[in-house]
Amino acid sequence: MINVAAIRMQQFGVHFYQASLTADDIDRLVRFEVLSYGKQTQPPTRGGKRRKSKVNWDFLERRIASSEKAYQREIIKRKIDELVQYYEQCRQARDLPSIPGAVIISSDEPLRFESLQAGSNLGVLKVPEREGVLRAIDGQHRLLALHADIEKFGNELFSVPAVVFDRLPEDHVVQMFVTINAKHTRLNASHLVSLSGRQLYRDDNLAAAHDIVRALAEQNDSPLCGEIKLLGVGKGRVAQAPLAQELKKLFATESFGGSRKSAEFRNDAKKFYVNYFRQVAQMFGAAWKGRKYSIKKATALRAFIRVSPSVIGRLDQEHADRTDFRAIGRIISPWGRRIGDLRFETEGAWKRKGTTVELLSTELRLALQYPEGASA
């Protein structure tokens, strides 16, 4: 372990650290990687070599790995060249810091934090001393330029401000990377499409959830086509993440009839959910097409997803195909009688009841359980 001066931070229940790493720490611990596009071979850098470049590109490119599990775009040579020149200017002029802003990195292995005193957020962060244990979420070009120029630092004391996350989940890493880069650095469309691919998600449940959400967002027969932002990009009004997390929980808890049936259901899940929401859109036609309703907000969509295992359970009881469009409509028909369009009127029942995912999913579940309105 290496000891790093750090401040423990917290935002919305998430802990992370503002730390000071040396240039040597960065050079040894951070791995550099770019997204490879399947079987297509492409170099980890793009842009021709500049005639007066001070960068040893053969040396630098050997440090950069290409992987289908990565998320970073290929390295832009011109940007590295400009950063290296800037670092040298800063070193010679000694009037500006070359990396004044924090880079954002995530650790693959557990970190330990020791407070200076009880209850203090100031302390020492203990980072595993393993090559490549850290990976850059934001600042990869800055750190690569540092790596390219580090031999000229000599014994110069050089500290790099860093925001460090402890084993940030894969989907959160991708979401943060896209949020930071999509608009400001104009990631190209092909890179975003690749980031949307399930190869990024090592968790099978999250991969299945992503496939379903993407089908809902992109299939022409989906009533949610164009309504969902994939990785924060697009004209949709609903974010991908809360829907994917809701689905991930269902797959993780084997809500679809045990491990075997859940595994089998992954193959048909996209078709089921597209047909399921088609029926929901028909059932609540006025609310779905109206502008003063909240049925297409994340809260309502999550509630429909949360109650979907109950719908599938009824289909199984009737020995119906889980993807059968008409059978799904027959199962959820009590919602038309017991719930109705007015339940989703934004300034009506929706606001009056203080609608939450849990409240709405309970109402939907009870309507399936007691279709004629019998008391619970």
- Could you read off the pLDDT of 284-294 as tens digits, one per residue? 999 999 999 99
Q: Is residue 375 assigned to a domain? A: no
Shared-domain flag, residues 152 and 6: yes
Number of domains in the chain: 2
At which of 139, 168, 197 does a domain end? 168
Q: Is residue 374 assigned to a domain? A: no
SS (H, E, C) the chain: CEEEEEEEEEECCEEEEEEEEEHHHHHHHEEEEEECCCCCCCCCEECCCCCCCCCCHHHHHCCEEEECCCCCCCEEHHHHHHHHHHHHHHHHHCCCCCCCCCEEEEECCCCEEEECCCCCCEEEEEECCCCCCEEEEECHHHHHHHHHHHHHCCCCCCEEEEEEEECCCHHHHHHHHHHHHCCCCCCCHHHHHHHCCHHHCCCHHHHHHHHHHHHHHHCCCCCCCCCEEECCECCCCEEHHHHHHHHHHHHHCCCCCHHHHHHHHHHHHHHHHHHHHHHHHHHCHHHHHCCCECCCCHHHHHHHHHHHHHHHHHHHHCCCCCCCHHHHHHHHCHHHHHCCHHHHEHHHHHHHCCCCHHHHHHHHHHHHHCCCCCCC
171-218 residue pLDDT tens: 777 677 666 665 555 555 444 444 555 555 567 787 888 889 989 999
Look at 252 and 312; give whichever has higher pLDDT: 312
Shared-domain flag, residues 142 and 267: no
Shared-domain flag, residues 233 and 284: yes
Per-residue pLDDT band at 376 (split at 50, 70, 90): very low
Shared-domain flag, residues 157 and 229: no
At which of 168, 196, 224 does a domain end? 168
Shared-domain flag, residues 126 and 213: no
311-367 residue pLDDT tens: 999 999 999 999 999 999 999 999 999 999 999 999 999 999 999 999 999 999 999
Q: Is the pLDDT of residue 230 over 50?
A: yes
Shared-domain flag, residues 206 and 137: no
At which of 168, 197, 228 does a domain end? 168
Q: Is the pLDDT of residue 40 over 50?
A: no
Q: Is residue 179 assigned to a domain? A: no
Are 319 and 261 in contact by the 8 Å Cβ rule? The answer is no
- Mean pLDDT over residues 86-113, rounded? 86
Shared-domain flag, residues 26 and 67: yes
Q: Which of 131-135, 251-255, 267-271 has the lowest mean pLDDT?
A: 251-255
Q: With CA atoms as reference, report the closest residue to 92 among 49, 149, 132.
A: 149
**Unique residue bearing structure tokens 């719908």:** 311
Q: Is the pLDDT of residue 87 over 80?
A: yes
- Mean pLDDT over residues 119-130, rounded? 91
Shared-domain flag, residues 359 and 318: yes
Question: How confident is the model at residue 53, as a pLDDT?
Answer: 62
Shared-domain flag, residues 119 and 204: no
Q: Is residue 180 assigned to a domain? A: no
Q: Is the pLDDT of residue 241 over 90?
A: no
Shared-domain flag, residues 364 and 258: yes
Shared-domain flag, residues 363 and 271: yes
Shared-domain flag, residues 135 and 276: no
Question: How confident is the model at residue 198, as a pLDDT?
Answer: 52
Question: How confident is the model at residue 17, as a pLDDT?
Answer: 93
Per-residue pLDDT band at 231 (split at 50, 70, 90): low
Per-residue pLDDT band at 245 (split at 50, 70, 90): confident
Residues of the domain holding 206: 187-369
Look at 245 and 326; give whichever has higher pLDDT: 326
- Mean pLDDT over residues 211-238, rounded? 85
pTM: 0.58
